[in-house]
Amino acid sequence: MTLTSAPRRAAATLPVPPSRAPATILAVVVGVIILIATAGLDIEWTELGDVPSRVVNYLQLMFADPNWDKLPRALFETWRSISMAWLGAIGCVVASIPLGMLAARGVGPTWLRYLLRGVFAIIRAVPEVIIALILLTVTGLTPFTGALALGIAGIGTQGKWVYETIESAQEGASEAVRAAGGNTLETTRWALWPAAAPALMSFALYRFELNIRMSAVLGLVGAGGIGSMLANYANFRAWDTVGMLLIVVVVITMCFDLISGSIRRRIMEGARPRGMDRSH
Amino acid sequence: MTEQSPPAQSSESSAPWSISLADVSVTYPNGTRALRNVSVDIGAGEIVSVVGLSGSGKSTLIRTINGLVTATSGTVTVGGHDVTSLRGRRLRELRGHIGMIFQGFNLADRVNVLNNVLVGRFAHTPTYRTLLGLTTAADKDLALQALDSVGMLEKVWTRASSLSGGQKQRVAIARALAQEPSIMLADEPVASLDPPTAHAVMGDLARINADRGLTVLINIHMMDLARQYANRMIGLRDGEVVYDGPAGTATDADFAQIYGRPVQTDDHSGSQR
Amino acid sequence: MTERATAPLQLPERSRRRWPAVGATAAIGIFTVLTCLPAIGGVDVDFSALVRNWSNGATKVNQLLHPNFAFLPRTVSPMLETLAMAVAGAAFAAIVSIPLTLWAARPSNPNPVTRQLVRFIININRAVPDLVYATVLVAMLGVGTLPGFVTLFLFDLGVVVKLVSEAIDSSDHPYLESGQAAGGTQAQINKVTLLPQSWTLFANQWLYSLELNVRISAILGIVGAGGIGRLLDERRGFYMYGDVSVIILEILVVIVLIEACSTALRRRLR
How distant is the Cα of C231 from the closest Cα of chain B, in angstroms?
A: 46
For the stretch A39-87, pLDDT in tens is 878 777 777 777 788 888 888 888 888 888 888 888 888 888 888 899 9
Q: Are C225 and C216 within 8 A, CB to CB?
A: no
Q: Which of the 8 DSSP states describes residue B273? A: -
Confidence category of residue B270, pLDDT binned at 50, 70, 90? low
Confidence category of residue C98, pLDDT binned at 50, 70, 90? very high
pLDDT (0 to 100) of residue B121: 83
User: What type of residue sits at position B55?
Assistant: G
Q: DSSP letter string over B97-141? A: TEEEE-TT----TTSBHHHHHHGGGGGGS-HHHHHHT---HHHHH
Cα B180 to its chain centre, rounded Å, is 13
- Sign, CA dihedral B28-B30-B33-B37, equals positive
What element of type H or E holds A183? Answer: none
Antiparallel, parallel or unpaired: β B232-237 and B47-51 = parallel
Q: Exposed, middle or buried by CB within 10 Å (0-12, 13-18, 19+), for A21?
A: exposed
What value does the mean pLDDT of chain B take? 81
pLDDT (0 to 100) of residue C94: 92
How distant is the Cα of B182 from the closest Cα of chain A, in angstroms?
A: 23
Whether B11 has a pLDDT exceeding 50, the answer reads no
What element of type H or E holds B233? Answer: strand B232-237
Interface test with chain B among C176, C193, C194, C270, by most B beta carbons within 10 Å: C193
Q: Are B167 and B152 within 8 A, CB to CB?
A: yes
Q: Are A87 and C37 within 8 A, CB to CB?
A: no
pTM (2 d.p.): 0.83
The full 3-state SS of chain C, as one line of letters, equals CCCCCCCCCCCCCCCCCCHHHHHHHHHHHHHHHHHCCHHHCCCCCCHHHHHHHHHHHHHHHHHHCCCCHHHHHHHHHHHHHHHHHHHHHHHHHHHHHHHHHHHHCCCCCCCHHHHHHHHHHHHHHHHCCHHHHHHHHHHHHCCCHHHHHHHHHHHHHHHHHHHHHHHHHHCCCCHHHHHHHCCCCHHHHHHHHHHHHHHHHHHHHHHHHHHHHHHHHHHHHHHCCCCHHHHHHHHHHCCCHHHHHHHHHHHHHHHHHHHHHHHHHHHHCC
Compute the average pLDDT of residues C73-90: 89
Q: Are B235 and B52 within 8 A, CB to CB?
A: yes
Confidence category of residue C153, pLDDT binned at 50, 70, 90? very high
Q: How far apart are alpha carbons A148 and A112 in whole angstroms? A: 24
Q: How far apart are alpha carbons C16 and C32 in whole angstroms? A: 27
For the stretch B106-165, pLDDT in tens is 888 888 888 888 888 888 888 888 888 888 888 888 888 888 888 888 888 888 888 888
pLDDT (0 to 100) of residue A8: 44
What chain A residue is nearest to B146 in terms of C-alpha separation? A10
For the stretch A197-207, pLDDT in tens is 888 888 888 88
Q: What are phi and psi of B91, to 5 degrees?
A: -65, -40
Compute the average pLDDT of residues B73-93: 83
Q: How far apart are alpha carbons C65 and C241 in whole angstroms? A: 9
Confidence category of residue B72, pLDDT binned at 50, 70, 90? confident
User: What type of residue sits at position C235?
Assistant: R
pLDDT (0 to 100) of residue A271: 57
Whether A268 has a pLDDT exceeding 90, the answer reads no
Confidence category of residue C114, pLDDT binned at 50, 70, 90? very high
Confidence category of residue A170, pLDDT binned at 50, 70, 90? low
Whether the CB of B41 is below 8 Å from some CB of chain A: the reply is no
Q: How far apart are alpha carbons B246 and B231 in whole angstroms? A: 6
Interface of A with C in 157-216 (CB under 8 A): 213-214, 216
Confidence category of residue C154, pLDDT binned at 50, 70, 90? very high
What are the C-alpha distances in Å from C203 to residues A76, C163, C210, C263? Answer: 43, 12, 11, 12
Q: How far apart are alpha carbons B199 and B269 in whole angstroms? A: 9
The complex scores an ipTM of: 0.81
For the stretch C42-66, pLDDT in tens is 777 777 777 777 777 777 778 888 8
pLDDT (0 to 100) of residue B60: 87
pLDDT (0 to 100) of residue C97: 93
Compute the average pLDDT of residues B191-214: 84
Whether B2 has a pLDDT exceeding 60, the answer reads no
DSSP-assigned beta bridge partners for residue A14: none
pLDDT (0 to 100) of residue B136: 82
pLDDT (0 to 100) of residue C182: 85
pLDDT (0 to 100) of residue C118: 92
Whether the CB of B131 is below 8 Å from some CB of chain A: the reply is no
Per-residue buried b or exposed e for A1-12, using 16+ beta carbons within 10 Å of the residue's own CB? eeeeebbeebee
pLDDT (0 to 100) of residue C100: 93
Compute the average pLDDT of residues C236-249: 86
B143: alpha, beta or left? (left if phi > 0; alpha if psi -120 to 50): alpha
Whether B3 has a pLDDT exceeding 50, the answer reads no
Interface of A with C in 96-155 (CB under 8 A): 122, 125-127, 129-130, 133-134, 137-140, 142-148
Measured between beta carbons, the chain C residues lying within 8 angstroms of A242 are: 136, 139
Subunits with 3+ Cβ pairs within 8 Å of C are A, B
User: A157-166, A169-178, B93-102, C103-112: which has the minimum mean pLDDT?
Assistant: A169-178
Nearest to A17 among B147, B148, B157 (CB): B157
Compute the average pLDDT of residues A106-113: 81
For the stretch C11-23, pLDDT in tens is 777 656 666 778 8
